[in-house]
Structures are given as structure tokens and as C-alpha cells.
Amino acid sequence: MSSNDRLTRELREIQLCPGNEVCADCGAPDPSWGSCSLGVFVCLACSGIHRNISDVSKVKSLCLSRWEDHEVQFMAENGNDLMKLRYESCVPVYYYKPTHRDCQVLREQWIRAKYERKEFTEPGKSFRYEEATRDGLLMKRGRDNGQFLSRRFVLSERDGTLKYFTKFDAKEPKAVIKVDTINATFQPEKIGNPNGLQITYLKDYSTRNIFVYNDNGKDIVDWLNSIRAVQFHYLKVAFPGATDLELVPKLTRNFLKEGYMEKTGPRQTEGFKKRWFTLDKRRLMYFKDPLDAFAKGEVFLGNRDHGYAASPGLPAGTHCNGAWQHGITIETPDRSFLFTCETESDQQDWLKHFDDVMSAVMSPQEYTMEALFKHRH
């Protein structure tokens, strides 16, 4: 057996050890690359990011590259668990740690923050996310013309708000957003920019979207984590008895599902129209265009013991003029909603999500939300 075969086999054995069976950076299973300077095993996608920080990380394929004895030894002595203790010992609880399903900019900035900037190796270094205010320019999509223009954004921990201004020296903000109503998620495909961030918030009980980006990946990810830091601070005050682990899930979260369905109006004679749907927990919103500022409508999805149901198909006799065939009927105490999906798998996927939501027990806040919905319609 050549020495390289031997080393490849040894590496494989080390990679199967606890901690090394998933990517050190994104958790993807079965990492096939290693950083022989950092001593961590990473997946193919993360190895590409490591290659761009060649000052600190030297990546090699576990089976295709040539490894030296001392490098294999180094991998054995270090490994993912040990290096996590070094590079992730002080990650703030609110910091968004990406998974392999997250977009490139989040994963890249996490890897750079960890190994290049070494933000999490000692306490206090990541304090910059918690500065009392964050003030800077972001490109924001205009509501009416869809053009992106530079706008000044100010995040204030003391006020618990995110404001934006149309002119840099304007006294009055164009909008004042309360941080406790914000859900911020990266949406590169929808926005058409790799650093595109969607900020959703509530205004007068209805949902409003704004779409921003910044060419600087670090800057836009810093904005996300600063918003989360302020939200976390707000939650600590609002729920003084709660533990950090109980509060983190209340920070901005991703939508359960988004995509097109066709929908008919309340009289069910208007014909089916294609709409963009976003499911955020119990709130099913629909938009004419995925980048619309306001939802055209919202449906509250309560618990199935209280008159809510979702089933495949449409009521007999529905005049189905739309192009899509795979129907879904949602019953609420007030009315029924008819949707159609393009494919059966899409229909099944939506139904699974509706089912999960309707099976879950409602929280006191969700009862309040249901009452507000009833009040509005």
C-alpha cells in the first residue's frame, strides 16, 4: 500500500470520529474536505469559502489531495469538536449561525467571522453587534417603481426601533419599525441579489415588506445580527424570567414556505389568479408579486379544534378556469379559501405545512392575533 493510500485511510477513520461526521461550519453530513491548517473537516461548499481565506485556511480533499504525515497527525489531534471550543467559544446567543440550507453570504460571513476575524475566540470581541445604535446606508427597493436606491437606516437599541430616511439629512424618518415585529431573512433569489435581505414587519396589524441589500457581505450580515441583538435585548426586558434558550426561537425566523398558488375570491366566481404565498407560522399571506410591499390579503390559520381545516381538492362544482389542477380547500370559521397548485408534490407540501400549523396548540399571543384578524375582516 502506498503511503498516500495509508494516509487517505487514516483520514477517513479520523473523519468518522464524533464531531467530524458533519461539516464544522454548516453541519452538512459527511464532510469530504479538511483544512490542514485549522484542523477541521468541512463540506465541499464550505471548502470553497475556506479557499478564499487562504491566509488562515489551507483546504484539501480527503480522498483526492496529497496529504503529509504531519498534516494527518494535526487533523487527528484537533478535529471539529476541539476547534469549536476555540473558534466558537463566545458566539453571542442571538448570532445567526447558518446551516447548509442557508445562502452563501450567511455561510461565508460566518466562516470569515470565525477564522479570519476570530470574533468568537474571546468574550467581548463581538460586542460591535450590540452597539447602542447602528447607522448606515442600504440599497432599498422602491415600493412603486421597484428601483433600488440608497437609504439611510438607523437601528436604535434604546428606542427598540429601526428607522429609515429617504434623504441623508432628513429630520423625519420615512418609517419607524418596532424591532419586536421584525422578521428579517435573506432572500437572494427572490430579490435577485446575493446579499438581498427581506425585512417584514407589522404596521397597523398588517404585514409590510421591505427589500434591501448592500454590496458588502459583511455589512449586510452585520445588520441582520445587530437587529437580532436589539430584538434579544428587547425580549430580555419583556420576559425577565425566561432563559436565553427560550428567547432565541423568538428572534427573527425564516418563513415556513413560500411559492405560487392560484386563488379565487370570496364569492368563488371571480376566477383563479396566480398569487405569491408566504406562510409565516399561522399567518398565510398572499401577494400579487413576490416583491410587493403589502400583502393583498392574509389568512389566519387556527387550530383544527376551532373550525380550521385544510384538505386536498376543491368543492364539487367549482368552476376551475385556472391553469392549475391540484386544489386545496382551507376552511376557517368565517369562510373557505380555494387554492390550486401547479404540481401534486407542491400541493402535498403546502397541505403538510397547513396540517402542522393546524395541529399545533395555540399560544395566548396567537389567540390575540386571531381576535385581531376577526376584527379586521
Ligand X SMILES: *[C@@H]1O[C@H](CO)[C@@H](O)[C@H](O)[C@H]1NC(C)=O
Q: Which residues bind ligand X (CB under 6 A)?
A: 48-49, 52, 108, 180-183, 207, 231, 250, 252, 280-281, 283
- Give the nearest distance from C-beta 207 to ligand X in angstroms: 6
Choose between 52 and 150: whose C-beta lies nearer to ligand X. Answer: 52
For residue 23, the partner it binds in Zn ion, ligand X, none, with Cβ less than 5 to 8 A by kind, is Zn ion
Q: How far apart are CA 104 and CA 32, in angstroms?
A: 19
Q: How far apart are CA 181 and CA 284, in angstroms?
A: 16
- The closest of 32, 7, 13 to 22, measured between CA atoms, is 32
H helix or E strand, kind and range, residue 34: strand 33-35
First to last CA, the chain: 75
Choose between 20 and 207: whose C-beta lies nearer to ligand X. Answer: 207
For residue 280, the partner it binds in ligand X, Zn ion, none, with Cβ less than 5 to 8 A by kind, is ligand X
Choose between 44 and 149: whose C-beta lies nearer to ligand X. Answer: 44
Contact 110, 97 (CB under 8 A): yes
Choose between 89 and 206: whose C-beta lies nearer to ligand X. Answer: 206
For residue 299, the partner it binds in ligand X, Zn ion, none, with Cβ less than 5 to 8 A by kind, is none
- Give the nearest distance from C-beta 50 to ligand X in angstroms: 9
What residues make contact with Zn ion under the rule CB under 5 A? 23, 25-26, 28, 43, 46
Contact 284, 299 (CB under 8 A): yes
For residue 49, what is its C-alpha cell? 469559502
- Give the nearest distance from C-beta 28 to Zn ion in angstroms: 5
H helix or E strand, kind and range, residue 46: helix 44-51
For residue 46, the partner it binds in ligand X, Zn ion, none, with Cβ less than 5 to 8 A by kind, is Zn ion
Q: In what order do the strands lie in the sheet with 59-61?
A: 40-42, 33-35, 59-61
For residue 342, the partner it binds in Zn ion, ligand X, none, with Cβ less than 5 to 8 A by kind, is none
Choose between 248 and 309: whose C-beta lies nearer to ligand X. Answer: 248
Contact 350, 261 (CB under 8 A): yes
